[in-house]
Structure formats: C-alpha cells, structure tokens
Chains A and B, each alone.
Chain A
Amino acid sequence: MTTAAQRQVLDQGDIARSLTRIAHEIVERAKGADDVVLLGIPTRGAHLARRLHRKLAEITGRELPVGTLDITMYRDDLRLKPARALEHTEIPVDGIDGKLVVLVDDVLFSGRTIRAALDALADHGRPRAVQLAVLVDRGHRELPIRADYVGKNLPTSLRESVKVKLDETDGVDAVLLGESEGSAQ
C-alpha cells in the first residue's frame, strides 16, 4: 500500500542489481568465498540472505551455508517495549567457528540491531571474521558500526521512515521512503 507520502527509491530491478553486485563483491573480497557463511537477520534480512545465497551459487557454482540469526533476546531495548515473539534461529550444521560470517539485514540505521547480532554470534561460536551486508544504509548511526557491502546509501532525515518490501513477505519488491509514523524500520 503506497500512500502519497511515500516515495519509491528502489524498485524490483534496482534491488536485484544491488544484490548481484553485493554477491560479486563478497566473492571478490573473500577471494572465492570458500569459507563464507551467510546469516540473515529475520525477517527481511533472512529473505535477502537466501537471495544472496542463490546469486552466490550462480557465481561460484557452490552452495554456501546459509542460515538465520534471531537477535530479539540480545536487544538493548527489550525493557522499553512489551516482550515480543521470537524469530527462528538456524545456524548451518557445520557451525560458524573459523568461518567468514556475512550478516545480512535490510536497513542499517542506529547499528543497535547489528550490535545485538554480534553478541548473539559470540554465543554460537567464534567466526574468523564478521562482515555486514545491507540493502539500504540510511545513516544516523548510534554505535561505531559500518557495513561492508551496501546496496544503496540513502541519506535520510530522522523524521523519515525507510520501508523495505520483499516479495516473500509483502508480495512486491520495493524500498519506500516516507514520513515517519512512529514505525521507523
């Protein structure tokens, strides 16, 4: 449902091209992506991780391990909101010890979600390195965290909201920029 106040900044083709470019960048930087493990942060990050997984399979010809990482219980704002339902965590069977973990999320904003994800990762094992891939970086970081792979840098004001829609959950691929209605990411 696109209201008049919302402006589309990425369409289906833009999202697909961004993911293709990120997949190539991962292969380039990881020198073949031999030990890469993709972990998506539910819900949309998990879908993006699966899409990246398919692109990487096309590029490298191999099936890389892919999973999901729920960070709810590691959030620093748990006590500010009612207790919420948990999402599914699925770590690939070979684990993450000594691997290059690429975290995947839809929007990078304050950086607090990623901080929680780093804490959660530490309880699952010790990766060789952790990198971050996001579809949109909208700025306004509150922690010293940056993304290694960015689909689109989107300068925003704090009054604006960024909404990522994906076919798997919303029936359409789009990134929308609009006035915040208290539901920023």
Chain B
Amino acid sequence: MKRHLISTADLTREDALLILDTTEQMAQVSARSVKKLPTLRGRTVVNLFFEDSTRTRTSFEVAEKRLSADVINFSAKGSSVSKGESLKDTALTLQAMGADAVVIRHSASGAPKLLADSDWLHGSVVNAGDGTHEHPTQALLDAFTMRRHLNPGVGHDLAGRRVTIVGDVLHSRVARSNVHLLHTLGAEVTLVAPPTLMPFGVETWPCQTSYDLDAALTKADAVMMLRVQRERMNAAFFPTQREYTRRYGLDARRLALMPEHALVMHPGPMVRGMEIESTIADSDRAVIVEQVANGVSVRMAVLYLLLGGSEPAITTSSANTSEETGK
C-alpha cells in the first residue's frame, strides 16, 4: 500500500496501530466545542458513490469537513454515470477538476483497486466499500471500538482477544476486512454462518469457522452481528427468516451465554428482529452507536495520514525491514 487504502490486508501491524493511535487523538476533536482542524485546508476530496449509502457517505463527509477539506459529493444517481459514462471517464473528469483524494463506493468488487492502479487519477483512493470485497474503514472503526473496551491505550493491539463474526459472511465486505485487520492485530476471529452463507475458499482466510453460534459465544470478547444482505441475494440461502433468527440471531438467551465483558457490535444498518433482538440492540452491552461516532474519528485519521503531509505516513513494509537491519 502506498497512498491508497484499498484493503486491510495491505496494512502492516505498524500501519494499523498508527491509524488507531491517530484516531485516538482525532476522537478528542469530536469532543471539543470547535470541531474543526485546518489540516486539509485547500485539499479537495470527492465522495464518489456508485451505490446507495447514507451512513458511510455522511461519516466521510463529516470527517472531511472537520479537517477543513473541500468536499464534493458525486453520486451515481442523476449524474453522468446513469447516462452511461464509464468509471474511467468519471475518474478523468475528477482528475481534471483537481481531486486530491477520491473516496469510492462501488457495487463491483475491485473498482477502487482498478482506480488506484490506473493513471486516470493522481490522488489517493480510499475504498468505502466495494461489492462483496472490502470495507477497510469499517474494520478500522470496529478494531478501534474493540481496543477502547478490551485493551485501551496508545500502541496496544488486540492480541489474544476472541472476536466472533456472525451472519451473512458470504456477502459481507465488513467481515472480510475485519478478518484481515483483526488477524494483523493479533485477535482470533471465528466466523459463524449457515453453510450456504459461508464464502467459498474461507479455509484460506486467517480465521476459524463454525456453524454453532452457542459454542462460539461462550468465549467471545466481542460479537459482531452482520445484516442479511437480501439485496445481494439471488437465491434462497435459508428456508425462512424465522429459522435464520432462531439459529443465528442474537437474543437474550444467547447474550447470557457470553462473558460479562463481551461487546455486542453491528456495522449497521441493522434489521431488528432478524439478526439481533431489539432489546439487545438497545442494551448497555451494545456499542453500536459508539461505532458510528468512532467512524468519523477513524476516517479523519485515515484522511490525515494519507493527505496531511507531502507523502502518506502509511507506508509499505519497508519500514519494518530497515528497523530490523538497525538492530
């Protein structure tokens, strides 16, 4: 990874900790009366959203504005894209307008990488979710939320913490990004899903898999419930909603199985009554609203580290090798 954030698999442990530590300082800004920093003054950030998203786009927009960047929202609906413009021509247009960074969400997996590898754009590319591939800033905010509760402190990782991710893993870019990042930070991840919603090739991922939610809950430090993404489903993946809820939904009985300190997380938007019971979502065990607040801080940190200096602070693994030779 150079000047882009495409996948959490590109982040070294040092990169990930730098982002989390920077996020810790950015979170302070959100608590002040003047929630504004002059850091990205004069820089233009384009939010290029080919897929509907209110939460993520708003979160990025707040982060960009808090850093004083000029923000341009470019959504596919009602734009030249709906008239048949290609990604390349859109990118060339943004380049001509002087975009310093492009935050892109696309329904096609790999679109941000295509943009980053191309010479259509000279700015940084930040992946805000591509198809069923990755959603790195969501994983970073999840890791940040977990660290605050499970191992607070600057420079700390998540070594030995157990995270259970439950639900529609097949369609979840959040799960994919989380598996890579949490593994890098030393956590042990268990994916729990019906066999039909477990991705092909999951055995090569750095995590465990299980079909038994109750067993996985008893030793979890954090449980992340995923939404069943019906809009991406073109076949019947489970018989009925009721059966899914009974086998893979989080209810009061299952909450009681979890350790006292374990967190309940959800990347949102959640479907109450489907993957999570309404009372659980509102309980004090759930950190779902906190995740949203941390999302702004994480995105500020990423944008600062990519755009704040003459070159990004998040580098390739060359930093590690020079450190090793120095010893």
Contacts and interface: CB of A to CB of B under 8 A. Distances in A.
Interface residues of A, number: 20
Nearest to B21: A85
Nearest to A122: B34
A83 B32 contact: no
A81 B310 contact: yes
A29 interface: no
Interface in A101-154: 119, 122-125
Given A78-B39, A83-B305, A89-B25, A124 B312 contact: no
Given A83-B306, A88-B25, A73 B37 contact: yes
Main secondary structure on chain A at its contact with chain B?
loop
A70 B37 CA distance: 12
Interface string A28-56: 00000000000000000000000000000
A1 interface: no
Contact of B312 (A82, A89, A122): A82
Contacts of A89: 25, 28
Contacts of A81: 309-310
Contacts of B310: 79-82
Contact of B304 (A73, A88, A125): A73
B124 to A, nearest CB: 11
A27 to B, nearest CB: 30
A50 to B, nearest CB: 18
B30 interface: no
A81 B310 CA distance: 5
A19 B38 CA distance: 33
B32 A124 contact: yes
A83 B313 contact: yes
A85 B308 contact: no
Contacts of B33: 125
Nearest to B312: A83
Nearest to B303: A83
A123 B36 contact: yes
Contact of B308 (A83, A87, A123, A124): A83
A82 B37 contact: no
B18 interface: yes
Contact of B18 (A73, A85, A87): A85
B209 interface: no
B313 A79 contact: no
A4 interface: no
A84 B309 contact: yes
B311 A123 contact: no
Contacts of A119: 38
Question: Residue among A73, A81, A89, A125 with the most chain B CB within 10 A?
Answer: A73
A86 interface: yes
B22 interface: yes
Nearest to A123: B34
Given A85-B21, A123-B32, A73 B313 contact: no
Interface in B215-252: none
A70 B32 CA distance: 14
A86 B306 CA distance: 14
Contacts of A85: 18, 21-22, 313
Interface string A68-99: 00100110001111111111110000000000
Interface in B1-53: 18, 21-22, 25-26, 28, 32-34, 36-39
Contacts of A83: 304-309, 311-313
A115 to B, nearest CB: 12
A78 to B, nearest CB: 6
A71 to B, nearest CB: 11
A78 B308 contact: yes
A123 B29 CA distance: 10
A70 B25 contact: yes
29 contacts: A73-B39, A73-B304, A73-B308, A74-B38, A79-B310, A81-B309, A81-B310, A82-B309, A82-B313, A83-B304, A83-B305, A83-B306, A83-B308, A83-B311, A84-B313, A85-B18, A85-B313, A86-B22, A86-B25, A86-B26, A87-B25, A88-B25, A88-B154, A119-B38, A122-B34, A123-B37, A124-B32, A124-B34, A125-B33
Given A73-B37, A89-B28, 10 more contacts: A70-B25, A73-B38, A73-B304, A78-B309, A79-B310, A80-B310, A82-B312, A86-B21, A86-B26, A124-B32
Interface of A: 70, 73-74, 78-89, 119, 122-125
Q: 8 smallest A-B Cβ distances: which pairs?
A: A83-B309, A83-B313, A83-B308, A86-B25, A73-B39, A123-B34, A82-B309, A82-B311
